[in-house]
Amino acid sequence: MRRKIVAGNWKMNTTLKEGLELAKAVKENAESGLPDGVSVIVAPPFTHLTGIKDVLPSSIGLSAQNCATDESGAFTGEVSAKMIASTGAQYVIIGHSERRLYFRETDDELNKKVNMALSNNLTPIFCCGENLEEREKGIYTEVVKKQIELGLSGIDKDDFKKIIIAYEPVWAIGTGKTASPEQAQEMHGYIRNLLAEMYDAEAADKVSILYGGSCKPSNAAEIFANEDVDGGLIGGASLNAADFLAIARSF
Ligand code: 13P
């Protein structure tokens, strides 16, 4: 059975104090139980990782939202995968559309980041997804194919098995407009087939593919009910512990 995962991407929100309070609220809410086989991960800003690591039980995963392409050196303002791992975090989001768009991160850089994460024993949560124009032009599968092929280029099967994929259509992020369950399943099925071609059917069958984009307690169940949707990468709704855990309980 594939791992079911609900991950909260806090983006650039919360002060340290607010972040610690949110992490405590997530922990307390999770104590009242989660469906079998569902893992919860939180991805706060870098500045909060160490403090939040002390608050969270080991059953809740901790993720960064980005990492540098290099391990150390003269890269003012960057944070390396090695530094992230040293906080006790186990995951890192790579290739979020906001990084691709606002910070001009290229497929080549994202591929370096995936390698950096893996070589520091962090699990990459690798994001892909088309924008509205690409969706309307009907080229969304080609766009996602290219992002995955280039982002995971050179990653062997053993390393691929450690990766989590997140499909986040850009037009659904923060817009209140969710992909329909059919649109989500179409893309998740497409991605799994692509991964089966790149690796093999068994490896593709085991990888968790999360959906992201305006996922909330009111729509999570119908999205998660799809065969190839293994959970969600949650933005806005992850800033409220009750909503976030309600999403995790939607399986
Ligand atoms: P929203 O849930 O706010 O649409 O954000 C989705 C997202 O970008 C998660 O990474």
CATH of the domain at 103: 3.20.20.70
CA 97 to chain centre: 11
What is residue 1's predicted lDDT score, i.e. its pLDDT? Answer: 78
In the predicted model, residues of the chain with pLDDT beneath 50 are none
Q: Given this model, what pLDDT does residue 177 score?
A: 86
pLDDT tens for each residue of 1-25: 799 999 999 999 999 999 999 999 9
Scored b (16 or more CB within 10 A) or e, 148-176 reads beebbeebeeebbeebbbbbbbbbbbeee
pLDDT of the residue at 4 = 98
The predicted pLDDT at position 176 comes to: 84
> Using CA positions, which residue lies closest to atom 1 of ligand 1?
235
Pocket, ligand 1, Cβ cutoff 6 A: 9, 96, 168, 173-174, 212-215, 233-237
Tell me: the pLDDT tens digits for 106-149? Answer: 999 999 999 999 999 999 999 999 999 999 999 999 999 999 99
Which residue lies with its CA nearest to atom 9 of ligand 1? Answer: 235
Task: Tell me how far the alpha carbon of residue 213 lies from the centroid of ligand 1, in angstroms.
Answer: 5
What are the catalytic residues? Answer: 96, 168
Atom in ligand 1 nearest the alpha carbon of residue 212? 6
Helices 241-248 and 16-30 meet at what angle, rounded to 10? 40
Spatial contact of 130 and 139, defined as CB atoms under 8 Å apart: yes
Show the domain range for 96: 4-248
How many angstroms does the Cα of residue 168 sit away from the middle of ligand 1? 8
CA 211–ligand 1 middle distance (angstroms): 9
Q: What is the pLDDT of residue 109?
A: 98
Q: Total domain count for the chain?
A: 1
pTM of the model: 0.98
Q: 10 Å Cβ neighbour count for 181?
A: 17
